[in-house]
C-alpha cells in the first residue's frame, strides 16, 4: 500500500516483530526452566505460529500477520503474542468512529495502515498474574499516531508485585519526560475500568492512544520503551510466583477473575471492536480470551 511514510511504517512493523520474537524466546525459556512444582510433569510449552489474513470488503488481500500461541504449558495455560500489519479502506462505521476521535479527512480519503503487537497471558498458577501488552502505529493520509501499553491482571494481588510492575514502567518512561508515567497510568486506570462491575479489571499499568506530537522519531522511541519495559516488569513476577502452592479455592478465584477479563474484552476493548469490524482474522482478534473461565 502506498501513500506516504513508507520508511517509518517499515521501521515500526519490523520493531513489533522483533519485540514479539524476544518475548516468545523469553516465555519459552520460562517453560523449559520449570522443572519443579505441580505442573512440572507437563510438556514444556512451545509457541505454534500461524499466518493470519485480513480480507477487504471486496474480497481482496488487505494484509495480515502472525499469531503465536502456546497452550497447556507448565507456566502458561494460554498465551498469545500476535503481530499484524493491515491496510485498505475503512468502512463507513470505522470512518465515523475515527472521525469522532478527531482523525481528519476520513470522508475524503478513508485509506489506512496499521501495525502492532498484542500479547495476553493466562497462567497455570493462580498466584502468577495474567498480563496484557500491546503497542501499535496507525496511519491515514491525513494523520498518524501510536498507542498501547501494558497492564497487570492478578486474580490474587500482591502489593509488592504491583509496585514492581509500576516502578519498571515508570523507569522506562521517565527519560521521555516526568509527566509521561503519571499521565499514562491515569489513562490505564480509566481505560481498563469496567463500568457495569464498578471496578478495574486489574491493578493497572500504562496506556496511551492517539499519541502524536508531530515528532515521529520521538513518539516511536516512547512506544519502543513501552515495549522494552514489558519483560523486566513482568518476568520477575512469574519467576517469583510460579512454584507457589495453590488451593482449589485459589483456582476458583482465578476462573472467576477470568470471567471479568472476558467481559471487558468483549464489551469495551477498542482493539477487539476494531479488529472484528475491519475484517481481521477473528481467531487472532479473540486470542485474548482465557481458555477457561466461570461466573458466579
Q: Which of the residues are catalytic?
A: 132
86, 65 in Cβ contact below 8 A? Answer: yes
133, 153 in Cβ contact below 8 A? Answer: no
Spatial CB neighbours of 138, under 8 Å, sequence gap ≥ 6: 112, 113, 114, 144, 145, 146, 147
Q: Torsion-angle region of residue 87: left (phi > 0), alpha (psi -120 to 50) or beta?
A: beta
3 state SS for the chain: CCCCCHHHHHHHHHHHHHHHHHHHHHHHHHHHCCCCCCCCCCCCCCCEEEEEEEECCCCCEEEEEEEEEEECCCCEEEEEEEEEEEEEECCHHHHHHHHHCCCCCCCCCCEEEEEEEEEEEEECCCCCCEEEEEEEEEEECCEEEEEEEEEEECCCCCHHHHHHHHHHHHHHHHHHCCCHHHHHHHHHHHHCEECCCCEECCCEEEEEEEECCCCHHHHHHHHHHHHHCHHHHHHHHHHHHCCCCCCHHHHHHHHHHHHHHHHHHHHCCHHHHHHHHCCCCHHHHHHHCCCCCCCC
Amino acid at each position: 500500500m502506498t501513500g506516504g511514510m513508507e520508511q517509518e511504517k517499515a521501521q515500526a512493523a519490523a520493531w513489533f516483530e522483533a519485540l514479539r520474537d524476544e518475548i516468545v524466546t523469553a516465555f519459552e525459556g520460562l517453560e523449559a526452566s520449570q522443572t519443579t512444582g505441580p505442573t512440572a510433569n507437563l510438556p514444556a510449552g512451545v509457541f505454534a505460529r500461524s499466518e493470519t489474513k485480513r480480507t477487504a470488503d471486496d474480497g481482496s488481500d488487505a494484509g495480515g500477520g502472525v499469531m503465536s500461541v502456546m497452550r497447556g504449558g507448565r507456566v502458561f495455560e494460554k498465551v498469545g503474542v500476535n503481530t499484524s500489519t493491515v491496510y485498505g479502506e475503512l468502512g463507513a462505521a470505522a470512518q465515523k468512529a475515527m472521525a469522532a476521535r478527531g482523525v481528519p479527512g476520513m470522508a475524503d480519503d478513508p485509506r489506512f495502515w496499521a501495525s502492532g503487537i498484542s500479547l495476553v497471558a493466562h497462567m497455570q498458577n493462580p498466584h502468577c498474574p495474567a498480563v496484557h501488552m500491546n503497542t501499535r502505529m496507525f496511519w491515514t493520509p491525513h494523520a498518524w499516531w501510536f498507542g498501547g501499553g501494558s497492564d497487570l491482571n492478578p486474580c490474587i494481588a500482591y502489593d509488592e508485585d504491583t509496585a514492581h510492575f509500576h516502578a519498571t514502567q515508570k523507569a522506562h518512561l521517565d527519560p521521555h519526560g516526568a509527566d509521561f508515567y503519571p499521565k499514562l497510568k491515569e489513562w490505564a486506570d480509566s481505560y481498563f475500568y469496567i463500568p457495569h462491575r464498578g471496578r478495574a479489571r486489574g491493578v493497572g499499568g500504562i496506556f496511551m492512544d492517539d499519541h502524536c506530537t508531530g515528532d515521529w522519531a520521538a513518539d516511536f522511541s516512547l512506544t519502543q520503551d513501552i515495549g522494552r519495559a514489558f519483560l523486566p516488569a513482568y518476568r520477575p513476577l512469574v519467576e517469583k510466583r510460579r512454584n507457589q502452592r495453590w488451593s482449589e479455592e485459589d483456582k476458583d478465584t482465578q476462573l472467576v477473575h477470568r470471567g471479568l477479563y472476558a467481559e471487558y474484552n468483549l464489551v469495551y476493548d477498542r482493539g477487539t471492536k476494531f479488529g472484528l469490524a475491519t475484517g481481521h482474522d477473528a481467531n487472532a482478534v479473540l486470542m485474548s480470551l482465557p481458555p477457561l473461565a466461570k461466573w458466579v
